[in-house]
Amino acid sequence: MKIIKFLLIVVFFSITLQNYLFGKENKLTVEKISKNLRCLICQGQSVYDSQSDFANSVKIIIKKKIEQGKSENEIYEFFTNKYGEWIVYDPKLNIQTVILWIFPLILFIFGGLLIIRKVFIN
Amino acid sequence: MLFSNVGHYSLIFGLIISVILILHSIKRLNDNNIILGKKIFYLLFSQFFTVVLSLIFLIYSFVISDFSNQTVYNNSHSTKPLFYKISGTWGNHEGSLLLWMFVLTLFIFIFFIKSKNQPKNYRLLTITFQQIIIIGFFLFLLLTSNPFNYLYPVPKEGLGLNPILQDPALAIHPPFLYLGYVGSSIIFSSSLAALIQNNVNKEWAVHIKKWILSTWIFLTLGIMLGSIWAYYELGWGGFWFWDPVENVSLMPWICLTALLHTIVVLEKKSILKTWILILSISTFTLSMSGTFLVRSGILNSVHTFANDPGRGVFILVFLLALVLLAIVIFFLYQDKNIKVEKKIFWMSKETVILINNWFMMYFLSVILVGTLYPLFLEVLTNNKISVGPPFYHKLILPFLVPFMFLMAIGPNLKWTKHNFNKINYQQILLLIVALIISFLIANLNGVNLLFVTVVIAFGFYLFFVTLKDFFEKKYNISQKLAHFAFSFFILSVLFNGIFSTEFSANMKIGDKIHFDEGIIKFKKIETYNNKNYKSLVGSFEIQDKKNNLINLNPEIRIYNQPSILTSEADIKTSFFYDKFLVFNILKDDNFFNVRYQIKPFMLWIWISILLLATSGLVSFIKKIK
């Protein structure tokens, strides 16, 4: 019984692993990219959510870029060069955003140490 | 006019009662009579009554459309339906603050009645601290946001309420959120009082847990109502956008959830006192700073409707003063309370709850830094950055895996010391089944994100474990229900995110378009004239792959006061998915932008949050019995 179970798991894992390694790339869509861009003239809406002229023209540009075979990152880069960092919802890790990305993780490590102290050392 | 005057003076009277209450409470601290008599009861009741009176007069002014009142003039219109005239009372800044005052004075009155078994000085101090907060809000209301300002000459017509606020969910969303926020102020005052009185112990834990629970239930429901509203009213089919205003309501919730877990440790083991005090103070601070951020207009958000920088400064100063007060008291009295606490054994329920808090604080820090960092960066360097969904997903999703694993096994550990006798094969089996199911789902649907698959697997694991535990009666039912609801929630949200599909096109009347999920037909548009808006109702027919026909009738509303266009989505909810259709006017007159979405498991998201709130309610009912 246990052996069968084990075999089953191995089979499933190998199938999935194979898919992950050799599976098709996720298709790039206007929907996916426009969700990660801010509509600059709106109150806190993404390009995807907005129906403003600005958002609609950005969607058309994204569509063209995809047809030109640009990668996801190239498209984000195009928009940041044009409009600045404000337009992308996923801030790049650089000297200005290092605290943003690292602070929670440092806090997490610090919290872990506190718990270890509380539990193992007195 | 008469009503406005009475409402105004009534508030001033309430403020005076606050001062009397503080003086009286301080006087009574030193006497030996341990019974708190009728005097405080009457004072608290009259204070509550003054605010109720004001609120009733304001509501009445709205109902009769008394435009000599500035608040009514700014936010109402005579053609508005009665229901929204009433809900419009708290749909604006001044009125919502009056509602806030109502809840504040109501809660301290209830606190007084329900705390009869608590030590006298603890009750007096709680009332004192609470009155300090109430005075702050009275001053805020009277000095910066008076809802009873008088206008002369009296305008003939009001400016109207923002139409997207004219909605049933939004009529009850602020009251629920406020019940939650104000509840946290009681927890704040009470923990400071308990700290001063050296009273942070098991009895206090039992007593304050009821407040923590009720506050938690209101916050949970309040956030859910806001989210439901965003889902159908903002017109993009999303229910959570990690928008700053949404974040500030989630932060106190997370902090309170951590407190809800830790207070049980105090109740059972009488440890972690300092930490509990920090959590109580933080929850309140987060609630208040949330109000500050929203009201000051600093945040760029979909939910920003009314703001004024001057008000922001007042709240900020007031908040800083309260936090400073809390910190001073904390350091003055902390040492008295905290004797060296016993060591915690590593394999015990205490440890797991500590780990829960550890994760909660991590999630909180992610949201806090994500919300505030862009503000600081802009002030310091003039650089604007946006922090949105991708940031939160990257930092939160990975941590959900161990978090949910511990949520599954943690509650089954024993207090003090858990003896680890033998490996629990049942648990391992459930984990394997969960892994297989999620890998199958991912594979069959071509999901290529290994990581999401792992999160789904642990969601299922938690789901199965809690489900199994339901049948073993020895466990705490509310706790099981809460963890079950959480797994249900995470799974629904993930599936909703992964499997939502959408189709969008520009169509004119009579168009018929084939798309991946079927055929969409734009049949006609009908125009109706309503009391305060004109509506265009589109008639669409959608045929899915199985040839089922459904008709959806989204609407565009053109409001007259103020003149604003809104799109009302038409949503067909079924057990497994929502069909969501919305359309918008384009510049080119003949064409409309049509967006059709199939959103799986939407209903389950709301059900799971309701279950979560129910679990709190079950626990609350058990406590008061």
- Residues B427-445 have pLDDT tens digits of 888 888 888 888 888 777 7
Contact A112 B362 (CB under 8 A): no
- Residue B161, pLDDT > 60, answer yes
- Contact by Cβ (8 Å): B301, A44: yes
Mean pLDDT of chain B: 86
Residues B188 and B113 grouped into a single domain: no
Q: How many CA atoms lie within 13 A of B618 on its CB side?
A: 13
The C-alpha atoms of residue B554 and residue A51 are separated, in whole angstroms, by 16
Under the banding of pLDDT at 50, 70 and 90, the label for residue A23 is very low
pLDDT digit string, tens, across residues B462-505: 999 988 888 876 668 888 899 999 999 999 999 998 888 888 88
- Residue B456, pLDDT > 60, answer yes
Tokens of B358: 């550890």
Average pLDDT over residues B372-400: 88
Find where tokens 């498991």 sit. B601
Residue B454 lies inside a defined structural domain of this protein: no
Instruction: Report how many domains make up chain B.
Output: 3
- Residue B449, pLDDT > 80, answer no
Q: Which of B233, B273, B382, B386 to mutate to test the interface with A (most CBs of A within 10 A)?
A: B386
- Contact by Cβ (8 Å): B242, B370: yes
Domain end (from B342, B371, B404): B404
Helices B93-114 + B168-196 axis angle, to 10? 50
Q: Domain containing B36: what range? A: 1-165
**Residues of A whose CB is below 8 A from B245:** 44
Query: Which residues are bridge partners to B525 per DSSP?
Result: B538
Determine the pLDDT at residue B499.
85
Closest residue by Cα to residue B484 from B292, B612, B595: B612
Residues B171 and B153 grouped into a single domain: no
Taking only residues 46 to 75 of chain A, the set having a beta carbon closer than 8 angstroms to any beta carbon of chain B reads 46, 48-51, 53
Find where tokens 């969960």 sit. B434
Q: Of B238, B345, B386, which is closest to A89 when you measure between CB atoms?
A: B386
Residues B105 and B12 grouped into a single domain: yes
Under the banding of pLDDT at 50, 70 and 90, the label for residue B263 is very high
SS (H, E, C) A98-113: HHHHHHHHHHHHHHHH
Average pLDDT over residues A85-101: 87
Domain segments of chain A as ranges: 2-90, 93-122
Residue B455 lies inside a defined structural domain of this protein: no
Determine the pLDDT at residue B187.
95
Phi-psi region of B565 (alpha: psi -120 to 50; beta: other; left: phi over 0): beta
β-pairing verdict for B549-552 and B533-544: antiparallel
What sign does the dihedral B155-B157-B161-B162 (CA atoms) show? negative
Residues B176 and B158 grouped into a single domain: no
Residues B154 and B5 grouped into a single domain: yes
Residue B103 Cα, gap to closest chain A Cα (Å): 30
Tokens of B34: 């341990």
SS (H, E, C) B510-522: CCEEEECCEEEEE
Query: Which residues are bridge partners to B428 per DSSP?
Result: none
For residue B431, what is the nearest residue in chain A, using CA coordinates?
A9
Residue B109 lies inside a defined structural domain of this protein: yes
Residues B146 and B254 grouped into a single domain: no
Question: From the CB of residue B152, how many other CB atoms can be counted at a distance below 10 Å?
Answer: 7
Average pLDDT over residues B339-344: 68
- Contact by Cβ (8 Å): B321, B306: no
Determine the pLDDT at residue B444.
76
Residues B258 and B368 grouped into a single domain: yes
H or E segment to which residue B597 belongs: strand B591-600
**Residues of A whose CB is below 8 A from B384:** 84-86
- Residue B47, pLDDT > 80, answer yes
Under the banding of pLDDT at 50, 70 and 90, the label for residue B4 is confident
B271 three-class SS: coil
Distance of CA A87 to the CA centre of its chain: 15
Closest residue by Cα to residue B172 from B84, B297, B50, B292: B84
Domain end (from B165, B193, B214): B165
Contact B362 A48 (CB under 8 A): no
Contact B443 A19 (CB under 8 A): yes
Residues B260 and B365 grouped into a single domain: yes
Residues B209 and B81 grouped into a single domain: no
Determine the pLDDT at residue B421.
67
- Residue B611, pLDDT > 90, answer yes
Q: Of B243, B351, B389, which is closest to A44 when you measure between CB atoms?
A: B243
State the DSSP string of B488-546. Answer: HHHHHHHHHHHH-EEEEEEEETT-EEEETTEEEEEEEEEEEE-SSEEEEEEEEEEEETT
Average pLDDT over residues B564-590: 83
State the DSSP string of A11-48. Answer: HHHHHHHHHHHHSPPPPP-HHHHHHTBB-TTSSS-BTT
The C-alpha atoms of residue B81 and residue B75 are separated, in whole angstroms, by 13
The C-alpha atoms of residue B110 and residue B114 are separated, in whole angstroms, by 6
Determine the pLDDT at residue A22.
46
Residue B480 lies inside a defined structural domain of this protein: no
Domain end (from B130, B146, B165): B165
- Residue B393, pLDDT > 60, answer yes
- Residue B300, pLDDT > 60, answer no
Residues B11 and B151 grouped into a single domain: yes
**Residues of B whose CB is below 8 A from A99:** 369, 373
B376 three-class SS: helix
Residues B537 and B548 grouped into a single domain: yes
| In chain B, % of residues over pLDDT 90 | 35
The C-alpha atoms of residue B559 and residue A71 are separated, in whole angstroms, by 43
| In chain B, % of residues over pLDDT 70 | 94
More confident residue, A59 or B303: A59
Q: What is the CATH number of domain A2-90?
A: 1.10.8.640
Closest residue by Cα to residue B519 from B547, B553, B488: B547
Q: How many CA atoms lie within 13 A of B511 on its CB side?
A: 16
- Residue A13, pLDDT > 80, answer no
**Stretch among B45-54, B65-74, B123-132 having the lowest mean pLDDT:** B65-74
Average pLDDT over residues B404-410: 89
Find where tokens 């999920």 sit. B517
Phi-psi region of B235 (alpha: psi -120 to 50; beta: other; left: phi over 0): left
The C-alpha atoms of residue B292 and residue B295 are separated, in whole angstroms, by 5
- Residue B545, pLDDT > 70, answer yes
Phi-psi region of B47 (alpha: psi -120 to 50; beta: other; left: phi over 0): alpha
- Contact by Cβ (8 Å): B189, B133: yes
More confident residue, B13 or A53: B13
Determine the pLDDT at residue A105.
94
Residues B3 and B55 grouped into a single domain: yes
**Residues of A whose CB is below 8 A from B362:** 104, 107-108, 111
Mean pLDDT of chain A: 79
- Contact by Cβ (8 Å): B540, B594: yes
Determine the pLDDT at residue A17.
56
Tokens of B185: 């102020």
Determine the pLDDT at residue A24.
44
Q: Of A13, A97, A115, which is closest to B385 when you measure between CB atoms?
A: A97
Find where tokens 């030193």 sit. B30
Residue B462 lies inside a defined structural domain of this protein: no
pLDDT digit string, tens, across residues B410-430: 888 877 777 776 667 788 888
- The answer to whether B499 contacts chain A (CB < 8 Å) is no
pLDDT digit string, tens, across residues B239-257: 888 888 889 999 999 999 9
Residue A14 Cα, gap to closest chain B Cα (Å): 11
